[in-house]
Chain A
Amino acid sequence: MSLQDIILKLQEYWANNGCYIASGYDNEVGAGTMTPDTFFRVLGKKPWKVAYWQPSRRPDDGRYAQNPNRVQKHNQFQVIMKPVPPDGQYLYLKSLQYLGVDIHNHDIKFDEDNWASPSLGAWGVGWQVMCDGLEISQFTYFQQAGGIELNPNSMEITYGIERLAAFLDVKNSIYDLEWGNHVTYAHLRTEEERQFSIYNFEYADIKLLRNLYSMYQKEATRLVAADLYLPAFDYVLKCSHTFNILDARKAVSVAERNVFMATMRNLAGAIAQKYVEATDNETRNEANHE
């Protein structure tokens, strides 16, 4: 099965299970969790069901296109269900079957792996889902986002699309995969991985990135103050990606890392707070209308 088939099948499956199918976000993110469709929508009272394909950047995971499983940009398929459905694990296993995984003949395990994003003040409890030793998904019950306790809680499922494809297609390397209609992953991605690895590890201009970081941070702060929390969040994402490159470049000391994390966490917290206030007002107004 090609990567594109997997994306199409997952969209179909989760649409059939009540999700709205969104597009991925057009800003660099480290994970599907960091997009507004997750970060904002898990806050507040309103139910929410969404699924989307999200390319995600992890500069430190680049391997110059030399590692069969690791890349600095990979593709996630993200599902959020709020409130948590009672049969979430079952829905997930069914989705694997929908993709053609023979779950009676593969060792699928839910291994403890609690997720936390210190820069977003978010954490959850859950597992990494292993299939014959390969991590194919992350399954999380969100507890907090932007420093705010969540009620109701959300269930998040994140599929690693390359991992799933390598597993389904029995390929030793993701570069041997087919994206779709005879276009190969290697053709699409090899040069990109090579160049970005060189950039992230060796060539990124540390001074420039530090300047950019502080400019993004200032802009985010200014926008929060102006109650423009949606654009403010974009600048937090830019901070986060800039920080990740600096980190891959080994330009961040441990002490400094904590400072970076704290500034992003505080901004994310303030943004989440603004969002909750705004949507609570909205909910109240809607209730008044009825």
Chain B
Amino acid sequence: MSDFLFELGIQEVPVSEIKPIMGQLKNMFQLKLQENLVEFGEIETAATNKRFMLYFSKINERANDKEEQVKGPAKRIAYDENGKPTIALQKFLESNKVELSDLKELDTPKGTYLVVEKKIEGRPTNMILKEIIPTILKELTFSKTMVWNASRVNFIRPVKNLLALFDNRLISIEFAGHHSTSFTYGHILLSDGPVEVKSYREYCELLSKNFVILREDERKEKILSEIKDIEDEYKAHVRMDSHMLEDYIYNNEYPVVFCGEFDKKYLELPQEIISAFMINEKKLMPVFDKSNKLLNIFVGVSNIPDENHYVETGNERVIRATFEDAKFFWDNDRKDDFLALRGDLVNVTFHKDLGNFHEKSERIASLVEFLVKETNNFLLLEPLRDAAYHCKNDLVTRMVREFPSLQGIMGGLYMKEMDINPVTWKAVYGHYEPKGFGTAAMEDIGAGLLSMADKIDNAAAFLSKGMKISSSKDPYGIRRDANGIIKVIIDFKLEFNMNNFIRHAALKFGGDNEEIINDISQKLKELFLSRIENVFKDFLKIRYDVVNSILSSDDFNIYKMYMRANDVLKIVKTPSIEGLVALHRRLKNITKGSPIYNVTEDALVEKEEKLLFDVFKESKARIETSLLEHKYLDGCSQFLEMKPFIDSFFDKVMVNAEDRKLRENRIAFVQRLDQLLSKITDFSLIVEQ
């Protein structure tokens, strides 16, 4: 067994690119080695913003031998009438250096051919690696590339070193004007130049000695445990942002947590602003006390030990200047009449083909009014209409121009400062939430309704322009918007007909053209159905067949679908599910292909069908009441109470009667049963587990 160490040393790569690059490298090495019949064991990988490392502790020294079949002449031309080899066959034997006895026959649709099996000896792995490494590096893809030297190679950042050791011997390769060497670099600030590496063990030791903690999990653990110490010391907690943690882990080869203070006077600024400036501007984390009050301290991660507190005091000076900036924006924005900024929105383009934000605010107002009425929140009508009109005003404030991530929040804060109705400012404050489905539950219903209005308007707008979305392409975040809407509906238990809401949104882009309105509505409906499916399956972990059975319903009411899905999940775990599935399939099979008929009670003749009809009338009312109250389990047991009557109906009564009138009346009856059961869900789609 051999081993293989590869390191790509590179100038600082953006954090967001690191995992995708590491993933590609690992996959491509695996794939290309497999293609070349080289067997290998586990692959270790490690990455920082300055290096990508792969280590194969077990890899075959050579590729496996390969059997190859070489096709020769057709049998009918290989021998003459005397059974002697023809010239064609002789040539084939010669060129492949084989004997007559090595030949085999192969039957093909074109007749029988002569073939030989040839064994091809596997090549040494280091030769294969020499070929595939440059190919792999060339095939890597990045979100943005650059050129820096005469090789004109497009890459993520300039290459610093290429280390490739097979059984501790250098594999000589060339990529982007760089030749491989047996050197690597230690810490950019704490080591003195390149160090020579003779083996993987030495590689790890040298890096560790030169202040590089190679493993991601070790760096993570070091950061988290040092933060924990600070939390204990200040009896406080650090609200770690997950993106920030990634940044700390990958941007520091030798992470050291530091903690600094700032003047308490800056705590007069709204917490949201302080946090946003710390995190987005300075990569520092805010610290809160036990009652969630912001403290005048911060935490950051340095790439070197800070024994002299230089890093700490340096950051303290910087954060002070940053807060001065924040205060400048905050004070100056408040000099303007925030409500009057709405006039400026005519100059702010929503999208080049979709008008400006003034127009958008009008649409949001109309949509939120619709939602207020549909969800019986009439008291919110006036304050939410105001919120809709002004929710985009902050786009023209200095603060949001500088920090787009504060949009909505700033509008809310500026309105709060003006003593505007809390319903209004809170709605504006929170209307960009929720950002997708997997976030914390929303608390403010006004913000929820405004958010839905804004988000469906986004979706309708972009879909109306024929913008396509796919699993990899969603430039305007429409799918995330749809997920957000589903979340608001579930968080606040909002019941309304989605079709009406969709149509209302589509109306704004369809003008008077019914065809366009229908087209946009249809696209929105498809979007929501696919998002419901995704959210139910992936976030709520609901069985796929249960989700499918729910989606087949005509009742497009997301909260009801959610409640039904949860109850159906319980129903499918009961023993009666088998009978229920069989019954529903039977109902569907009998009525398949028939138009909808009317049932006439007088036209029922047999004892069993009359009896069932009496039971049905009584049950239907009870079941529908249960369903209205979202008691789908009850509804289901009530339906099951009818089962003996249905069974004996099917036993004794011929649905497909000769007489047309009789037949149509009975089919109609079965259709009513199917419709009633389908209100719970389409059980015929449930799959046996």
- Name A residues whose Cβ lies closer than 8 Å to a Cβ of B: 63, 66-70, 83-84, 86, 89, 93, 103-112, 114, 124-125, 127, 131-134, 141, 143, 151-153, 166-167, 170, 172, 253-256
Closest 9 CB pairs of A and B: A132-B314, A253-B347, A69-B321, A133-B315, A125-B146, A107-B302, A112-B14, A110-B12, A133-B318
Shortest Cβ distance from residue A208 to the other chain B in the assembled complex, whole angstroms:
21
How many residues on chain B are close to A (CB under 8 Å)? 44
A103: chain B residues within 8 A (beta carbon): 189
The reply to whether B149 and A153 contact each other, CB–CB distance below 8 Å, is yes
The reply to whether B11 and A110 contact each other, CB–CB distance below 8 Å, is yes
B304's contact among A106, A112, A133, A153, by CB below 8 Å, is which?
A106
Given contacts A141-B146, A153-B146, A172-B317, 17 further A-B contacts (CB under 8 A): A67-B321, A67-B328, A68-B321, A84-B158, A86-B149, A103-B189, A106-B314, A107-B304, A107-B314, A125-B144, A132-B302, A132-B311, A132-B313, A133-B284, A143-B146, A170-B313, A255-B349
B303 interfacial contact with A, CB 8 Å: yes
A124: chain B residues within 8 A (beta carbon): 146
B590 interfacial contact with A, CB 8 Å: no
Known contacts A67-B328, A134-B318, A167-B314; A107 and B347 CB within 8 A of each other = no
Question: Among the interface residues B15, B317, B325, which one has the most CB atoms of the partner chain A within 10 A?
Answer: B317
The reply to whether A104 and B12 contact each other, CB–CB distance below 8 Å, is no
The reply to whether B148 and A84 contact each other, CB–CB distance below 8 Å, is yes
B314's contact among A63, A131, A153, A253, by CB below 8 Å, is which?
A131
Query: Cα distance A111–B147 when bound, in Å?
Result: 19
Within 8 A of A (CB), among B308-364: 308, 310-311, 313-315, 317-321, 324-325, 328, 344, 347-349
The reply to whether A67 and B324 contact each other, CB–CB distance below 8 Å, is yes
Shortest Cβ distance from residue B133 to the other chain A in the assembled complex, whole angstroms:
21
A89: chain B residues within 8 A (beta carbon): 11, 188
B663 interfacial contact with A, CB 8 Å: no
The reply to whether B158 and A141 contact each other, CB–CB distance below 8 Å, is yes
Query: Cα distance A127–B13 when bound, in Å?
Result: 10
A110: chain B residues within 8 A (beta carbon): 11-12
User: Could you list some 25 contacts between A and B, CB below 8 A?
Assistant: A67-B325, A69-B318, A69-B321, A69-B325, A70-B321, A84-B158, A89-B11, A104-B190, A105-B307, A106-B189, A107-B302, A107-B304, A107-B306, A108-B188, A109-B251, A111-B12, A112-B14, A127-B12, A131-B314, A133-B311, A133-B318, A134-B314, A134-B317, A141-B158, A166-B317
Known contacts A110-B11, A132-B310, A254-B348; A104 and B321 CB within 8 A of each other = no
Known contacts A125-B146, A253-B348; A133 and B314 CB within 8 A of each other = yes
Query: Cα distance A127–B325 when bound, in Å?
Result: 22
Known contacts A105-B308, A132-B311, A133-B284; A68 and B189 CB within 8 A of each other = no
A134: chain B residues within 8 A (beta carbon): 314, 317-318
B100 interfacial contact with A, CB 8 Å: no
A151: chain B residues within 8 A (beta carbon): 147, 152
Shortest Cβ distance from residue A212 to the other chain B in the assembled complex, whole angstroms:
22
Query: Cα distance A84–B176 when bound, in Å?
Result: 14
B308: chain A residues within 8 A (beta carbon): 105
With CB as the reference atom, state the residue of chain A lying closest to B160. A89
B251: chain A residues within 8 A (beta carbon): 109, 111
Query: Cα distance A255–B321 when bound, in Å?
Result: 32
The reply to whether A132 and B349 contact each other, CB–CB distance below 8 Å, is no
B321: chain A residues within 8 A (beta carbon): 67-70
Shortest Cβ distance from residue A185 to the other chain B in the assembled complex, whole angstroms:
15
With CB as the reference atom, state the residue of chain A lying closest to B301. A107
